[in-house]
Amino acid sequence: MDSNSLKRLREWFKKNAAELPWRPADLDTLRDPYAVWISETMLQQTQVATVREYFIRWMKRFPDIETLAKASEEEVFKYWQGLGYYSRARNILKTAKAVTLEERSSDRVHKKTLPSTRKELEALPGIGAYTAGAILSLAHHQREAILDGNLVRIFSRLYALDFLPTDSRDSADAYWNYAREVADSPKAYMHNEALMELGRTMCKVKNPDCASCPLQNACRAHLENRTAEFPPAKKHLQKDWHGTVLIVESADHKILAVHGGQKFFKNQFTLPHFESPRNATAGLPAQAERYIDADKVQSVENIGKFRHSITVHKMECDVLYIRLNKKAPAPTSSETKWVRRESARDFFANSFSLKALERLLHRTDKP
């Protein structure tokens, strides 16, 4: 991208930059690395409009990395609830703990901040090439490149690239080389963020606003009237999954939660669930006996279905409400927990479990 195009891009961004809770009014100011890290992690696979309130709420509760490191995983999940991809939240907590536990005597560690080199950042859980580049660029004004879906779309159209960075190592290198060209400037931080903004607001997947784009005169796809061809379509592998979710309620009105051993939620508490055929037989499934004693079952009722998506999995689940004739037993391990029914909504941090619970809680207000 030539200097004139970059100048037009900067001027456009200064006039059109949206007000965002993680973006300072002065676009040239250095930013808090922690805030950049949290916002960019939240923005992965999530729309800006959704992230706004989550970011504000998060920063009020966890204003710095040291406060975050002291939090439990359950509380972090609670503040992440609704953003999905819970591995991101888990990695954020792991990184916070790793940074604050270091005992080297450098100023960075003494101040308990994120490192300021790409190599150190990418060695931390959940921080990849894009996030590391964003932290170094926006928070430290280093000449570091970033590459996300917005920039891939822009570069594909600018240079009429009929391949994606996921196609091969050479394809990825080609895109990263264009990203490094943009970042090879004292204004790298502004170029990077301006391109993200351009992709989000103007160079959209569908119906891009080419007539108002500051890069229209440099864009091959636009000049050749081929914008719709770029980037090339990505092949998605969709996997259908059908399962059964158990809401097990004891005689003293407690709901069973399990931790570990679940296909999609291995490291957080969730309602018990397992893969099952669409036309399962009535009654207590054999898989349920992994969690409860069949002799203590008072009734089993199918109370509905719900749909859910996790990565490439398109899920349809039956919800079985199982009432026991005994009080909740004392937990025999950290893998199970009995939660009072009235507290269940607050306890479960994943929307998968909450969707199942809604089938019960909306069905009746009576225990």
* Coil, strand or helix at 238: coil
Long-range contacts of 192-195 (CB under 8 A, 24+ apart): 192/133, 192/134, 192/137, 192/138, 192/145, 192/146, 193/13, 193/17, 193/23, 193/27, 193/137, 193/138, 194/9, 194/10, 194/12, 194/13, 194/17, 195/9, 195/150, 195/151, 195/154
Superfamily for domain range 239-361:
Nucleoside Triphosphate Pyrophosphohydrolase (3.90.79.10)
Question: Could you say which of 11, 19, 40, 358 is catalytic?
Answer: 40
> Quick check: 298 and 268 in contact, CB under 8 A?
no
The pLDDT score that the predictor gives to residue 364 is 54
Domain boundaries, given as residue ranges, for the chain: 3-229, 239-361
SS3 content of the chain, % helix, strand, coil (to 5): 45, 15, 40
Q: CA torsion, points 61, 65, 71, 75, in degrees to nearest 10?
A: 50
Give me the tens of pLDDT residue by residue for the chain, a chain 367 residues long.
Answer: 999 999 999 999 999 999 999 999 999 999 999 999 999 999 998 899 999 999 999 999 999 999 999 999 999 999 998 888 888 999 999 999 999 986 444 444 445 789 999 999 999 999 999 999 999 999 999 999 999 999 999 999 999 999 999 888 899 999 999 999 999 999 999 999 999 999 999 999 999 999 999 999 999 999 999 999 999 987 666 678 899 999 999 999 999 999 876 677 777 889 999 988 887 667 888 888 888 999 999 999 999 999 998 877 888 999 999 999 999 988 777 889 999 999 998 898 788 999 999 998 777 544 4
151 close to 191: Cβ distance less than 8 angstroms: no
Q: Which residue type sits at 340?
A: R
Compute φ and ψ for 103, nearest 5 degrees. -120, 10
Partners of 269 in beta bridges: 259
Q: Is 3-229's fold the same as 239-361's?
A: no
Question: In the annotation, is 342 catalytic?
Answer: no
Q: 246: which residues sit within 8 A by CB, 6+ positions away?
A: 256, 271, 272, 273, 288, 291, 320, 322
Task: Kindly indicate whether the domain formed by 3-229 is annotated with CATH number 3.40.50.2300.
Answer: no
Tokens standing for 26?
């002065």
**What's the sign of the alpha-carbon dihedral 174, 178, 179, 181?**
positive
d(CA 304, CA 356): 9
Regarding beta strands 313-324 and 239-249, do their DSSP bridges make them parallel or antiparallel, or are they unpaired?
parallel
Q: What residues pair up with 68 in beta bridges, in sequence order? A: none
